[in-house]
Structure 1
Amino acid sequence: MAQRTPLSRERIVAAAMRVADDGGLAAVSMRNVAKALGAEAMSLYHHVSGKEELLDLLADAAFEEVPLVEIGAPWRAAMTSRADAMRAVLKAHPWALGLLESRSNPGPAVIRHHDRVLGLLRHDGFELALAAHAYSVLDAYIYGFVLTELSLPFTPEVGADAFAEGLELPADEFPHLAEMLERMVLGHGYDYGDEFGYGLDLVLDQLELRRAAQRG
């Protein structure tokens, strides 16, 4: 008989992530995670105190997938790379949108990530208050964009053209929206995801202005 691989916190968290990826955060329970591991639910309690700790560990595991920024790197390039990485993680694990900032017992990866981002901004000329504001607005933009991106009734694969055509907006009643659809969407290979970089640049441009102004 083949020997069963022993349970560990790492294996439990990995299984919980698979359960969440397949069924959303609501599917994560000690029973379902144990089932994914081919184990009894009670055996998980030797490694994890319960569902709340498991959710804390899940949040930490998601943050571990985002590369840490390096203090001393140019802030704008680092924040752009971090935004792209955060977006990729949130799209790969949609359940993380409602979890990453909601835990009252953040793990070491969560704390390290936050500390490193603030440290990079402070090192590259941001006063403390502006660094905190920058962190807040960047995460609000990233999380909000991904939430919209995942909720759209069309995808890059299916395309926005069919959706736009189905709206059948009368130009005399909705002239501005009809103009946008005609000049930017229909027949133009429109991909909402392309908006991410443009919007991010708008945020970063304003932060750069405020970073420069604080020196005056």
Structure 2
Amino acid sequence: MTERAETLRRAPLNRDRVLRAAVALADDAGIEALSMRKLAQELGVVPMALYKHVANKEELLDGMVDVIVGEIDPPIHGAEWKDAIRRRILSARQALLRHRWASHVIESRTQASPVVLDYMNSVIGMFLAGGFSADLTHHVMHALGSRMWGFTQEVFPTPPPPADPDAQAAMFRQLAARYPHIIEIATAGSHDEGSAVGRGCDDQFEFEFALDVLLDGFERLHRQGWHSTGSRNGTRTAG
């Protein structure tokens, strides 16, 4: 029995202990291995004991998201809005990197908990405190999307190439013949084996690059006094 497991078994059972044990189990064994029965075994209790603290597995997952969001650094008071928001979002990313399974759980949630709403409210407040209008901030939050939580939602992730160098070269030749532009940019990046944006990319660099492009764009629109009136009709409007 590990020291961590012994500590978990000795501590009084409460909701916080249940949630943190579930996060630790997902970190160790993967989110797919998480079940109420397995969690009860980890805690040294019968499964029914868990239901006094979480109604079902969906509530357990909601609570696990709350634990992860709780790891995000609080706002830096007195900092310029752009730097403060950048640091906060990069703190969210570090939390997600510590818990690789968390992005999939966040995406699967159908409603926001008070903890999640508090975080969203805080981020929105940072833009408003920076002088952004409610209108611009509304669109800013849509543009940030999942980056607010420290990850990027990718459509059609790139499958890993074959390990055999000859097979890999043959695959790239075939793809280059049909999709030359895709291959041209795919082979232009630096390497990061764990990248969410496909092999050949530095995932942290890509995340920060996109975040900085967005923040720079938000800053430009804010300075222009942008508002959505007229923009929805195909024109760009500045006050």
**Structure 1: tracts of 5 or more residues without a match:** 155-160
Tell me the distance in 2 between the aligned counterparts of 1:208 and 1:180. Answer: 28
Q: What is the TM-score of this pair, normalised by structure 1? A: 0.76
More relative contact order, 1 or 2 (CA 8 Å, 6+ apart):
1
Do structure 1's residue 111 and structure 2's residue 122 form an aligned pair?
A: no
Tell me the distance in 2 between the aligned counterparts of 1:34 and 1:18. Answer: 13
Tell me the distance in 2 between the aligned counterparts of 1:163 and 1:142. Answer: 39
- 1:168 maps to what in 2? 172
Residue type at the aligned position of 1:169: R
- 1:210 maps to what in 2? 221
- 1:157 maps to what in 2? none
Q: Percent identity?
A: 32
Tell me the distance in 1 between the aligned counterparts of 2:150 and 2:65. Answer: 18
C-alpha distance 31-126 of structure 1, shift in aligned 2 (>3 A): same
Tell me the distance in 1 between the aligned counterparts of 2:172 and 2:128. Answer: 50
**Where do residues 145-164 of structure 1 align in structure 2 (5 Å cutoff)?**
146-148=152-154
Residue 49 of structure 2, aligned match among 43, 47, 60: 43
Whether contact under 8 Å (2:89, 2:147) holds in the other structure is no
Measured after TM superposition, the shift of residue 44 of structure 1 is 1.7
Partner secondary structure for residue 100 of structure 1: helix
Tell me the distance in 1 between the aligned counterparts of 2:63 and 2:188. Answer: 47
Partner secondary structure for residue 46 of structure 1: coil
Measured after TM superposition, the shift of residue 163 of structure 1 is 9.9
Measured after TM superposition, the shift of residue 54 of structure 1 is 1.7
Measured after TM superposition, the shift of residue 71 of structure 1 is 5.3
Partner secondary structure for residue 209 of structure 2: helix
The CA deviation string for residues 17-46 of structure 1, in whole angstroms up to 9 with x for no partner, is 12222221x443321211111211112223
C-alpha distance 125-164 of structure 1, shift in aligned 2 (>3 A): farther
Partner secondary structure for residue 104 of structure 1: coil
Do structure 1's residue 76 and structure 2's residue 87 form an aligned pair?
A: no
Residue 105 of structure 2, aligned match among 90, 99, 103: 99
- 2:235 maps to what in 1? none
Instruction: Provide the alpha-carbon RMSD of the alignment.
Output: 3.6
Residue 96 of structure 2, aligned match among 78, 90, 93: 90
Do structure 1's residue 131 and structure 2's residue 137 form an aligned pair?
A: yes
Residue 195 of structure 1, aligned match among 197, 202, 206: 206
Q: What is the TM-score of this pair, normalised by structure 2? A: 0.69
Tell me the distance in 2 between the aligned counterparts of 1:162 and 1:129. Answer: 54
Do structure 1's residue 30 and structure 2's residue 41 form an aligned pair?
A: no
The CA deviation string for residues 108-164 of structure 1, in whole angstroms up to 9 with x for no partner, is x3222112111111011111122222223213346695454xx6656xxxxxx9997
Measured after TM superposition, the shift of residue 105 of structure 1 is 5.4
Count of residues in correspondence between the two structures: 206
Measured after TM superposition, the shift of residue 96 of structure 1 is 2.1
Tell me the distance in 1 between the aligned counterparts of 2:151 and 2:111. Answer: 24
Do structure 1's residue 53 and structure 2's residue 64 form an aligned pair?
A: no
Tell me the distance in 2 between the aligned counterparts of 1:180 and 1:116. Answer: 37
Residue 67 of structure 1, aligned match among 67, 73, 88: 73
Measured after TM superposition, the shift of residue 51 of structure 1 is 2.4
Tell me the distance in 2 between the aligned counterparts of 1:143 and 1:204. Answer: 15
